[in-house]
Amino acid sequence: MTTETETHPGQGPESPLGQPAPAPVDWNAAPIRTLDAVEIEKTIPHRYPFLLVDKCHILEEKKRAVGLKGTTMNEHFFQGHFPGHPIMPGVLIVEALAQTACVLMLSGGGLDGKIAYFLGIENCKFRQPVKPGSLLRLQVEMVRMGGRAGRARGEAYVDGNLCTEVDLSFVLAPKS
């Protein structure tokens, strides 16, 4: 058995198991809808100073979204992290990715009265620092979604450069 991919006329490349390779993802596709800060606050419970998504473009319902977070020197975390060399804490970048995933899941309807809680953070890597004045692009794709739990893959970029990548797992629970 060979592990090389095969290409058949009229079909795309196949994986080693003979399944069609997934189509490449276009993260710059036109959104099917966009949520501003007011709509995001209607969707998830986070509020300033812990609301870390300014805008969210839904590219594919319940599947893919791009969140945006503009950073300024006025952000509370830059004051102490680190004086003279301000960078956004990595855990807050992960939180911003998680909030983008929450907006993606909860804004499409069908989950009214639910809230998402972290179950796990895996394969997290911080590639470069995020400095004041950066526009953080938060790309999130749902990998698996069940009735009560799911997994998402998140990547954060500044100026096209990968800053953070992470696999997130979560559980949906009733709001109390």
Q: State mean pLDDT over 2-18.
A: 42
Q: What is the DSSP letter of 130?
A: -
Residue 7 has pLDDT above 60, yes or no: no
Distance CA 152, CA 150 (A): 7
Question: Tokens for 118?
Answer: 């972290």
Question: Is residue 2 scored above 50 in pLDDT?
Answer: no
CATH 3.30.1950.10 is held by the domain 33-174:
no
pLDDT for 139 equals: 98
- Scan for tokens 């606050």, then name that residue: 41
Question: Of 8, 46, 76, 81, which one is the catalytic site residue?
Answer: 81
**Does residue 81 carry a catalytic annotation?**
yes
Q: What is the pLDDT at residue 175?
A: 87
Q: What is the average pLDDT score of the chain?
A: 88
Residue 22, helix vs strand vs coil: coil
Which tokens go with 138?
A: 């938060």
Q: How many CB atoms are closer than 10 A to CB 80?
A: 9
Query: Which has the minimum average pLDDT: 54-68, 69-83, 104-118?
Result: 104-118
- Report pLDDT for 18: 61
